[in-house]
Amino acid sequence: MYSIKTCKDSKIDDLILYRDLKFEDTIRMFCALDKNSTNVSKTISKMLEVAGEYGLHGNLWANILALALAYNENVYSKATEIVGKTSGSINTFAIHDFRILRELIHFIPNINGDLLKEIYNYEGNGRDSKLVNTRVRDRILRLSKQLMEADSDNEFKDIITEFYKEYGVGKFGLNKAFRIEEGTDLKTANIIPITRVEHVYLNDIIGYDLQKKKLIENTESFIKGKPANNCLLYGDAGTGKSSSVKAIVNEYYDKGLRIIEIYKHQFRYLSDILEQLKDRNYKFIIYMDDLSFEESELEYKYLKAILEGGFGRRPENVLIYATSNRRHLIRESFRDKTETDEELHTRDTVEEKLSLSARFGEKIYYGSPDKKEFNSIVLALAKKHNIDMDESEILSKANMWELSHGGMSGRSATQFITYLQSQ
């Protein structure tokens, strides 16, 4: 380990791959402290803002540089995400940059000040990160320490490459779920991380073993690069359709699976979203919850073109998973099935509506549980949450509950257990 006493802006300007670093203004301000001590307070303030947003502690300077590396999407980092080491001349440029960054991470400003010393041994307030989940935050803190301890430029390179292989890079590497925001030009889509994701797993969903098996098999084929189908989970309300999709992402996140939630009024951005995803080493599920269309809604035509039928191929690293209470997604009426309507080609209208559902190669039905299944779900949830009550009493109360709360379903069983916990 060593330390350097100078940190000129030219060091950062000499970077080739790792240009436009996240927090670059803060990094440059810290580098300038060896020449100008008047900005100490302002610089520390900037660093503490980053520490608060990401839940950092320890050596804040090293942490911020590690964060900047974890977020920097460049030719090298995207080539090594998920797949690890790569060959070719790109490694020469990477070593050039890592030599500079290895020097920077050991920088100590040549000025005195007790406040500055706290930067290298910062004790956080114990709060979680606002911008990444706790597991990723802790891994970045470990990355920071590993980079500080690297004995050579090549070891520094190997450490950060292993991080990219394990987590990926940028927002797609550090988050598992995303939503869509309209771009400022109203023509493009911004993919925004969701940092608070419900921690539900397949074992948390009681019953529906056949449905989960089908979903697992299709998803594992997709992750392994084998042929896989777009998937429609349909059936009764409250039966675990949405929870199953959330669970799949939680189960396979460490295999490079990511999910992007989109609403039907955003379907016009689907082509732009696919363009942003097609060259990444992750597997993406575009998720549409509670999908259905009224007769007057035409957004389904965007979806049909993406599922099948458009000139552009859907990227091989993208699948579409949707949940719906309707098997055919678009509302039908008896008028569609009669010949008394003013439209001459009634059958064409019906086929147009049915064809959307047909473009999901895997359709999985989630039906409401019967009495025996409902009771099994209730008792399993009661056991999981340590409800101290006789089984017969639990079932008696559960049966009264479901009569006034939407009938027998996994959702009403969960709400009933929540009610018991509150008593």
Domain boundary among 174, 201, 220: 174
Longest dimension (CA), the chain: 89
Q: Do 304 and 269 meet the contact criterion of CB atoms below 8 Å apart?
A: no
Q: Do 207 and 372 meet the contact criterion of CB atoms below 8 Å apart?
A: no
Same domain, 108 and 124: yes
pLDDT tens-place string over residues 379-423: 988 888 888 888 888 888 888 898 888 788 888 988 998 988 887
Q: What is the pLDDT of residue 32?
A: 84
In a domain, 1, yes or no: no
* Burial of 185 per CB tally in 10 Å (0-12, 13-18, 19+): exposed
How many other β-carbons are positioned within 10 Å of the β-carbon of residue 46?
A: 18
Same domain, 361 and 377: no
Same domain, 354 and 391: no
Sorted by sequence, the CB contacts under 8 Å of residue 312 that are 6+ apart come out as: 271, 274
In a domain, 351, yes or no: yes
Same domain, 247 and 379: no
In a domain, 4, yes or no: no
In a domain, 410, yes or no: yes
* pLDDT under 50: residue ranges of the chain: 1-5, 333-340, 343-346
Same domain, 245 and 362: yes
Same domain, 340 and 205: yes
Tally the domains of the chain.
Answer: 3
Spell out the SS3 assignment of the chain.
CCCECCCCHHHHHCCCCCCCCCCHHHHHHHHHHHCCHHHHHHHHHHHHHHHHHHCCCECHHHHHHHHHHHHCCCHHHHHHCCCCCCCCCHHHHHHHHHHHHHHHHCECCCCCCHHHHHHCCECCCCCCCCCCCHHHHHHHHHHHHHHHHCCCHHHHHHHHHHHHHHHCCHHHHHCCEEEEEECCCCCCEEEEEECCCCCCCHHHCCCCHHHHHHHHHHHHHHHCCCCCCCEEEEECCCCCHHHHHHHHHHHHHHHCEEEEECCHHHHHHHHHHHHHHCCCCCEEEEEECCCCECCCCCCHHHHHHHHCCCCCCCCCCEEEEEEECCCCCECCCHHHHCCCCCCCCHHHHHHHHHHHHHCCCEEEEECCCCHHHHHHHHHHHHHHCCCCCCHHHHHHHHHHHHHHCCCCCHHHHHHHHHHHHHC
Domain boundary among 320, 342, 366: 366
Domain boundary among 132, 157, 174: 174
Among residues 205, 194, 285, the alpha carbon closest in space to that of 241 is found at 205
Burial state string for 77-112 with b = 16 or more CB within 10 A and e = fewer than 16: bbbbbbeeeeeeeebebbebbbbbbbbbbbbbbeee
Sheet holding 231-235, edge to edge: 189-194, 177-182, 257-261, 283-288, 318-324, 231-235, 362-366
How many Å apart are CA 252 and CA 176, to the nearest integer? 10
In a domain, 101, yes or no: yes
Same domain, 186 and 151: no
In a domain, 100, yes or no: yes
In a domain, 98, yes or no: yes
Q: Do 180 and 286 meet the contact criterion of CB atoms below 8 Å apart?
A: no
Same domain, 241 and 287: yes
Same domain, 163 and 274: no
Same domain, 136 and 191: no
Same domain, 181 and 145: no
In a domain, 239, yes or no: yes
We report the CATH number of the domain holding residue 259 as 3.40.50.300
Q: What is the pLDDT of residue 58?
A: 92
Among residues 254, 250, 242, 252, the alpha carbon closest in space to that of 219 is found at 252
Same domain, 164 and 81: yes
Range of the domain at 353: 177-366
| Half-sphere exposure (Cβ direction) of 334: Cα atoms closer than 13 Å | 0
Q: What is the pLDDT of residue 236?
A: 87
Percent of the chain with pLDDT over 90: 42
Q: What is the pLDDT of residue 295?
A: 62
Q: Do 62 and 69 meet the contact criterion of CB atoms below 8 Å apart?
A: no
